[in-house]
Amino acid sequence: MGSFTERSCPKPISRVPAKDLSIGVTLHELLIYIAAPCTIITGFFSLVLVFKHLCRYTKPTEQRQIVRLIITPAIFAVFSLLALIFYDENEYITPLPDLYEAFALACLFILFTHYAQEPTTIHHNGNVETTKNLDSGHVEGLQKAWVAVFQYPVVKTILTIATEASLATGKYCASSRSVHFAHIWIVVIGDISLVVCFLAILEFYKTQKAHMTVHKPLLKLLSFKLIVFIIFVQNLVFNFISIPDGLSADDTVAPRDIKYGLPAFLVCVEMVFFSLFFFFSFGSRIYHPSKRHPEPREHFLVALFHVLNPADVIRDIAKMFSMAFSGQKKSSGGFGGSSSRHGGHRSSRHGHHPRYEHRSGHGHRMRQYEAPRY
């Protein structure tokens, strides 16, 4: 990449165009021709599954998060294709799908809290009996998990802004690992934040998986964990790989094809398989009105608006700050409420607003917690 001191960024990656391959197109063009159909296929599969959920929108508090998770492969595929097409803007485009991934991980955590909170329903002689799985006794542990998970979207948002700003001012320097540039700090802080977030989700799953079996949480966790892991490893490899100064020996491979083209191309191809995998891990059959939920489904447009409305995410982040700085023990039990029927009492379609009482070992009422409205 050329000589440089610790305080000076190496010369930009060579923009010398590569020669055509034997098939009459450049490697860059070939990658685009393969990646574009992959992106279209990924988008199609994702939209089909989203449509199925919106047409069976019988559990808003759960399906809102599921739909947001389902479109993750499409988000990655679209932005990766743009990064592949526009080499000059690649470094500005690449951080954007990673930002969505941060919020998607938070949605996965919220989905698990809904699963864990949902009462186990037993039909006995025509009567409905319910037992709570997640009670106020878990408040402190859930608060810690909440803060550990929601710090990541906040940190990632700040890092994304810092990335774009440092790129614009020439202070990023992706090809340098010097502490005098923003790149190394942004990568290290982002990776630490991601690990903290994912470990918190994994720990919550381990403690509550017995209450979530019907929802196949392991399959959901695995499908999303694979996306996070593969993207993480690929970014790590291509961030630290040595890029040649010039063209390959036969002049058909340019440095930017290796630095920008291959990573974006791989993501476009991989997301096709993840969009298919999501049909098994985030299927909509369980939400059919005749299955789990006797109540009628929401209208398609109402369901779509509910998914697109970010108010719940904003409240969840605000709750994270409240937990982190106030030191007060608030209920993590509500987490958006439940849409189930509780022994004849029907909660709100878009979130019940219950209160939970935490009792001491002697049965005395100690404190009352109120779950947030969703």
Question: Can you list the alpha helix ranges (DSSP code H) found in 258-353?
Answer: 262-281, 300-308, 311-326
3-state secondary structure of 374: coil
Instruction: Name residue 140's amino acid.
Output: E
Question: What's residue 13's pLDDT?
Answer: 76
Place of tokens 């990064």: 83
Q: Which residues contact 236 (CB under 8 A, 6 or more apart)?
A: none
Domain segments of the chain: what residues? 27-124+131-370
What percent of the chain is predicted at pLDDT more than 70? 75
Question: What's residue 259's pLDDT?
Answer: 87
Q: pLDDT, tens digit, for every residue of 6-40?
A: 677 777 777 778 888 889 899 999 999 999 999 99
42-51, 269-278, 342-351: lowest mean pLDDT where?
Answer: 342-351
What percent of the chain is predicted at pLDDT more than 90? 47
- Residue with more model confidence, 41 or 294: 41
Question: What's residue 362's pLDDT?
Answer: 40
Q: pLDDT, tens digit, for every residue of 177-207?
A: 788 899 889 999 999 999 999 999 999 998 8
CA-to-CA distance for 238 and 25, rounded, in angstroms?
Answer: 24
Q: pLDDT, tens digit, for every residue of 145-182?
A: 999 999 999 999 999 999 999 999 989 988 777 888 99
Question: What's residue 127's pLDDT?
Answer: 45
- Residue with more model confidence, 144 or 175: 144
Q: Which residues contact 301 (CB under 8 A, 6 or more apart)?
A: none
